[in-house]
Chains A and B, each alone.
Chain A
Amino acid sequence: MYEPSIFEKRPGRSTEYIEEVETNPSFPITLKRRTSLDGLPKLGESEVVRHFINLSRLNYCVDNGFYPLGSCTMKYNPKVSEFLAERDYFLDIHPYMDEEDVQGTLKLLYELESALNEITGMDAFTLQPAAGAHGELTGLLIARSYFREKKENRRIVIVPDSAHGTNPASAKMAGFDVIEVKSSNKGLVSLSEIKPFLNENLAVIMLTNPNTLGLFEEDILEIAELVHNVGGLLYYDGANLNSIMGIARPGDMKFDIIHLNLHKTFSAPHGGGGPGSGPVGVKKELVDFLPIPRIVFKDGRYSFDYNHPRSIGKVKCFYGNFSVLIKAYFYIRLLGKEGLKRVGEISTLNANYLQKRLGDIIDIPYKRLCKHEFVASVKFLKPYGIRALDIAKRIIDKGVHPPTVYFPLIVEEALMIEPTETETLESLDRFVEIIKEVIEEGKRNPEVLKEAPVNAPIRRVDEAKASRDLRVIW
């Protein structure tokens, strides 16, 4: 399958969506565009539609099949949410409409904040951040303002070596110094590693719980106490919340600041990389630092409250990725308290089932009860010249999306596998068979894996050349 570039197509005539309007000579000539817009396609609607439909067919997606990308929570995205999010009453509302005209919208957002508080055990949320990493930055700027107000010059943010790359990057962006600490041999935060940093320079420890190995940080309360004893704050990366929803709450684990990924846990689709949404929740003592405006409910009326002098300010224009936020709200309403807990249980069940079945054929370095995901290693295939990437590419040939590879960094030749709760037993079993087949093929004839994929729309892509030759426009 191949779709030529839109710029290779023979120019024809654009469909006329608006009657042609002549150039108006009253527009100042010195301010007028001189450069041609000839580079834009000149194609009729039918050709443009065909082009992008053909392109879409080159993608693999959740609605095609199993997509066990670790730490990405590629669950099914309910269609009723897509339908409702595109209704006129949610589309045709302008951010500067008067509050009295958007009471329904504000009510929905207010209720979403309350639901997120209850699900996570936090005291208040902002819905403004547009993605997980944006939430991290927001949370860390809140921490920064909090310490600044206390006149404490705390510089250090600690992240485990198993952390998502966004954690250290956000900490740096928020102006902190980052220290990465080694995980213990159990794959958990090592108390002895963090102890040297428990002093008046410590600002924040950022944790993901369950962590990126899919393991629950059992010492969480002890860690929280140690951090709080020296006046630091504990930050929760919510990327992996899915498997503990309704079962344990970050707030009860004594986290002070958390962000959620509504496009993971709460079923809003990923959109090929976005838009996402990364609401941030905090405990009482940090509420005043949340971005403005806050949504308040008073005297039977919802409104925006800008009067928060201690706020870090705004992190985005307007109020957040509204269309994504409402999909999370729909999801929470559909599933309700019992459904959300079921998500936690079944996503954990599925991950443990896959771990158990794959444990017989592949190496799992931290093999114990896991949560939403687990990490396998194909280091044992090195003698055959096979790497995790080759396994991934051959999995493509078998008709499913490969797991995350080479992450977390602490596992050599890692395959990070997260099945989610929306898969059938058949689909999990098929995945086990696929891994079995691929490993056997690899041992028998490594070339088959090196040559893979052969059943995808294209063969293996030369990614190194892409960066070397650097052709970034047609």
Chain B
Amino acid sequence: MDYIPLSEEDIRFILGTLGLEDIGELFSDIPEEVKLKRDLNLHRGINEVELIRTIEDLSRLNRTTSDYLWFAGGGCYRHFIPQALNEVSHRQEFYTSYTPYQPELSQGTLQSLFEYQTMLCSLLDMEVTNDSMYDGATATAEAMFMACDINKKHKVLVARSLHPEYRSVLNTYAVSRDIVIEEVPFNPSTGRVDDIILERKLDGVSCFIFQNPNFFGVIEDTELLKEIVHSKDSFLVPVIVEPLSLAILSPPGEYEADIACGELQSFGLGMRFGGPTAGFLATKKIYIRRLPGRIVGLTNDLNGKPAYAFVLQTREQHIRRASATSNICSNEALCAIKVAIYLSLMGEKNLKSLAWRNYNLALMVYNEFGSYFNSPFFNEFLVRTRVPASEVKSLLKKKRIMVLDPSRWYEELHDAILLTFTEMNTELEVRSLVEELKPYV
């Protein structure tokens, strides 16, 4: 089936208007040598019933997180999504409109994005933010570019405790601008950034990029990092992968982050096999002209009524072309709007309750087994195991419990499993986890 509303008669009429007999004549400008002289080697079309049946069949090859007691995170978190968010964000006016280049027909998207900017800045305690990046990893890569462009240095330090896939994306991006990336290890007993090595490596460095809480769930000593990094005139760039932590944890603005970036998946976007989510990028107002991507500002219309529009478009590719701050065009606008709706529904009170609940659940397990690293955490931490982590993971899977094995990314962490707790876990589930884990810890 297709979605073409023209009848055969309409088509004949149009062809007649064009003085053509056959629709194939519309392609007479395409050289014969490049024309496809056969049908595409694909299935024939199917109808809705057949599609749904096909997809339902295929879905039986899948399990979902609900088939498990789910304690796996690692940069993608299983969180509660209010139904109101799903209903409202699925309005056609939001999802079937284009980038709001005509502000008079796009106030809905523009005002929502402006409110997103405001709420995000409040959460991060930062001054300005754009309307989203593709995801946390690409936002971090753009933060790296921004820092290097602003302070004209080309060496970047990255904490080894930053999400491994983020580090991989940074490496891919860095090549293009000849940026040199050096890794800063974590202290093997605390899991925190090794501040002595950090200090030693800082000369001539554009920025220090670290995750907080880091990939192991460890909360960094951000005050200390701030002092060290700023004393060498480098930029402090925290990456927030679990933004719910900010309901109770010191946000980037409090420790004077120069650029803050990260991931918003936790705020009502769902897991979706990892995407689409939304990355964020925030900074100080003095650097607003260096921000990539779209930014909405408040202005007024001809009648003096409040109105919203994109600002500083001369930073962007459609105006500045090769000299733009970035090539980004499509972003994750709809995800940003979902985040605005999520934060509006939740407000301070729900966010705090969620954060404390998740912390408390993690604490239940910590009180039983302690943690691999001797440091504070939020809702994610490593537990030391007596058996290799890969085995523990498989054994738990047989009991329908899912955890992450960090040795997949960190060889040295072969005797620890990474546990994550969210409001989707019940206390009963957590007690089951404790019982099942006992033999291996």
Contact = CB atoms under 8 A, between A and B. Distances in A.
Contacts of A274: 99, 132, 276, 330-335
A194 to B, nearest CB: 17
Contact of A18 (B54, B135, B317, B354): B354
A275 B335 contact: yes
B118 A348 contact: no
Contacts of B171: 313
Interface centre among B75, B177, B344 (most CB of A within 10 A): B344
A392 B106 CA distance: 14
A473 B318 CA distance: 24
Interface in B295-309: 295-303, 305-309
A249 to B, nearest CB: 6
Contacts of B3: 75-76, 78, 267, 421-422
A46 to B, nearest CB: 9
Contacts of B306: 2, 5
Interface stretch (B84-92, B380-388, B433-441): B84-92
Interface string B1-41: 11111100011011101100001001111110111100111
A340 B40 contact: yes
Interface string B248-291: 11110110000000010000001111111000000000001000
A423 B10 CA distance: 11
Given A26-B363, A314-B169, A59 B334 contact: no
Given A61-B92, A317-B166, A41 B344 contact: yes
A432 B74 CA distance: 54
Interface in B96-111: 96-109, 111
B425 interface: no
A430 interface: no
Top 5 nearest A-B pairs (CB, nearest first) are: A318-B274, A336-B45, A271-B334, A104-B61, A39-B122
A224 B132 CA distance: 37
B407 to A, nearest CB: 13
Contacts of B105: 59-60, 396, 401, 456-457
Contacts of A41: 119, 343-344, 347
A437 B247 CA distance: 55
Interface string A179-198: 01000000000000000000
A234 to B, nearest CB: 13
Interface stretch (B64-72, B153-161, B182-190, B228-236): B64-72
A209 to B, nearest CB: 10
Contacts of A180: 321-322
Given A53-B91, A317-B274, A425-B6, A263 B330 contact: yes
A271 B107 contact: no
Nearest to B347: A14
Nearest to B115: A6
Contacts of B288: 470, 472
Contacts of B63: 97, 101-102
B382 to A, nearest CB: 15
A379 interface: no
B51 interface: yes
A318 B165 contact: yes
B97 A272 contact: yes
B211 to A, nearest CB: 12
Contacts of A178: 321-322
Given A401-B102, A461-B103, A244 B30 contact: yes
Given A14-B345, A459-B301, A45 B84 contact: yes
B415 interface: no
Contact of B62 (A16, A104, A166, A171): A104
A349 B13 CA distance: 11
Nearest to B58: A104
Nearest to A474: B118
B400 to A, nearest CB: 11
B273 A337 contact: no
B88 A315 contact: no
A171 B322 contact: yes
Interface string A341-363: 11101101110110011000000
A56 B108 contact: yes
A457 B136 CA distance: 35
B52 A48 contact: no
15 contacts: A17-B82, A40-B122, A52-B340, A59-B93, A94-B72, A118-B42, A131-B328, A137-B327, A171-B322, A221-B31, A249-B36, A271-B334, A272-B97, A424-B5, A451-B302
Nearest to B78: A94
B167 to A, nearest CB: 9
Interface in A51-95: 51-53, 55-64, 67, 69, 72, 74-78, 80, 82, 84, 86-95
A336 to B, nearest CB: 3
Contact of A80 (B18, B48, B102, B176): B48
A319 B271 CA distance: 12
A317 B135 contact: yes
B350 A33 contact: no
Given A49-B88, A170-B327, A175 B176 contact: yes
A35 B249 CA distance: 10
Nearest to A76: B3
A474 B354 CA distance: 26
A90 B301 CA distance: 43
A105 B351 CA distance: 32
